[in-house]
Chain A
Amino acid sequence: MSDEQKHGWFSGFFHHIELSALITIIGIILLFSCAIVVTLLAPRYVDPTWTSPTSPYQVQMYESVDHSLYISKAQTGESTLQFVNYLKKGSLFLAFRESETVRIIAPPALQKYITRVGDAKLKLTSNLLLLRKPQKAETFDAVQATAELQKKLATEWEEKHPKPAEEEKEKTESVAQATPQKPEMPRYEIWELYEIPGSEMFVVGSSENILDSWVDANYTILDPERQYPFPTDQGVVYISNPHEYRITEYAYNDQKMWRYDPEGKPIEKFADLKNHPLGFLSRAELISLGEHIYAIEGCWYCHTDQTRTLVQDVVLNGSDSFPAPPSSASEYIYQKITFPGTRRIGPDLSRVAIKRPSRDWHKGHFWSPKTASPGSIMPAFRHFFDEDPRGTSKNTVGIPNYHFEAIYQYLMTKGTRITPPTQAWWLGQDPIHTKEIIEGEYIPPP
Chain B
Amino acid sequence: MVKYEDLPVKLMLYPAIFFMIMGMTVGVFIAFNGFLFPDYFAGEYVHFGRVRPVHVGTVTLLWLLSADIGLIYYFVPRLCGVPIWSKPIACLSAGLWWLALVIGVYSYPFGTNFGWEYAELPNWVSIVPTKAITTLAWVLVVINILMTIATRKYEKMYVSLWYTMGTMIWTTFTFITGSYGINWVPEGISRVNVSFFYVHNLVGLIFTPMGLAAAYYFLPKLANTPIYSHKLSMVGFWSIAFVYAWIGSHHIIHGPVSQWLQTTSIVFSLWLFIPVWTVVTNLFATLKDQWAQYSQSAPIRFLMMGNIFYLLTCIQGPLMALRNINEITSKTDWVIGHSHISLYGTFTFFAIAGIYQAIPVITNKPLWSKRLANWHFTLNMLGSVPFLLALWVGGFWQGMLWSTWANGTSYATFHNNLTMMTFIDTIAEMHPFWVLRAVGGVIILFANILFVVNIFNTIVLKPVPAMKRAEAKVTP
Question: Interface residues, chain A, CB within 8 Å of chain B?
Answer: 13-18, 20-21, 24-25, 27-29, 31-32, 35-36, 38-40, 43-44, 46-47, 49-51, 292, 294-302, 304, 306, 308-313, 315-316, 318, 320-323, 326-345, 347, 370, 373-383, 435, 438-440
The residue from B116, B256, B405 contacting A327, defined by CB atoms under 8 A apart: B256
Asked if B423 contacts A35 (CB within 8 A), the reply is: no
Find the A residue at minimum CB distance from B190: A44
Chain B stretch 377-419: residues in CB contact (< 8 A) with chain A:
402-403, 405-406, 409-411, 414-415, 417-418
Asked if B152 contacts A16 (CB within 8 A), the reply is: yes
Q: Which residues of B are found within 8 Å of A49, using beta-carbon distances? A: 258
Interface stretch, picked from B7-15, B94-102, B180-188, B276-284, is B180-188
Q: Which one of B34, B42, B189, B418 has the greatest number of beta carbons of chain A within 10 Å? A: B189
Q: When chains A and B are docked, how far (Å) is the Cα of A306 from the Cα of B262?
A: 15
Q: Which residues of B are found within 8 Å of A294, using beta-carbon distances? A: 115
The residue from B177, B241, B409 contacting A439, defined by CB atoms under 8 A apart: B409
Q: When chains A and B are docked, how far (Å) is the Cα of A318 from the Cα of B405?
A: 12
The residue from B151, B187, B265 contacting A335, defined by CB atoms under 8 A apart: B187
The residue from A17, A310, A315, A334 contacting B187, defined by CB atoms under 8 A apart: A334
Asked if A329 contacts B188 (CB within 8 A), the reply is: yes
Asked if B261 contacts A375 (CB within 8 A), the reply is: no
Find the A residue at minimum CB distance from B168: A25
Asked if A46 contacts B258 (CB within 8 A), the reply is: yes
Q: Does B331 contact A (CB under 8 A)?
A: yes
Asked if A298 contacts B414 (CB within 8 A), the reply is: no
Asked if B192 contacts A16 (CB within 8 A), the reply is: no
**13 A-B residue contacts at CB 8 Å?**
A16-B152, A31-B245, A39-B245, A40-B177, A40-B193, A297-B47, A297-B111, A301-B48, A308-B255, A312-B402, A338-B187, A377-B427, A438-B411
Asked if A376 contacts B424 (CB within 8 A), the reply is: yes
Q: A37: shortest Cβ distance to chain B, in Å? A: 10
Asked if B194 contacts A40 (CB within 8 A), the reply is: yes
Q: When chains A and B are docked, how far (Å) is the Cα of A343 from the Cα of B399?
A: 11
Q: A54: shortest Cβ distance to chain B, in Å? A: 11
Q: Which residues of B are found within 8 Å of A343, using beta-carbon distances? A: 331-333, 335-336
Asked if A378 contacts B256 (CB within 8 A), the reply is: no
Find the A residue at minimum CB distance from B327: A310
CB-CB under 8 A for A337 and B191, given A17-B149, A312-B406: yes
Asked if B188 contacts A333 (CB within 8 A), the reply is: yes
Q: Which residues of B are found within 8 Å of A375, using beta-carbon distances? A: 424-425, 427-428
1/0 contact string of B252-293 vs chain A (CB within 8 Å)? 101111101100110000000000000000000000000000
Q: Which residues of A are found within 8 Å of B170, using beta-carbon distances? A: 28, 32
Q: Which one of B166, B241, B248, B418 has the greatest number of beta carbons of chain A within 10 Å? A: B241
Q: Which residues of B are found within 8 Å of A21, using beta-carbon distances? A: 149, 157, 165
Asked if B50 contacts A297 (CB within 8 A), the reply is: yes
Q: A371: shortest Cβ distance to chain B, in Å? A: 12
Asked if A379 contacts B186 (CB within 8 A), the reply is: no
CB-CB under 8 A for A337 and B256, given A316-B423, A318-B415, A375-B424: no
Q: Which residues of A are found within 8 Å of B251, using beta-carbon distances? A: 342
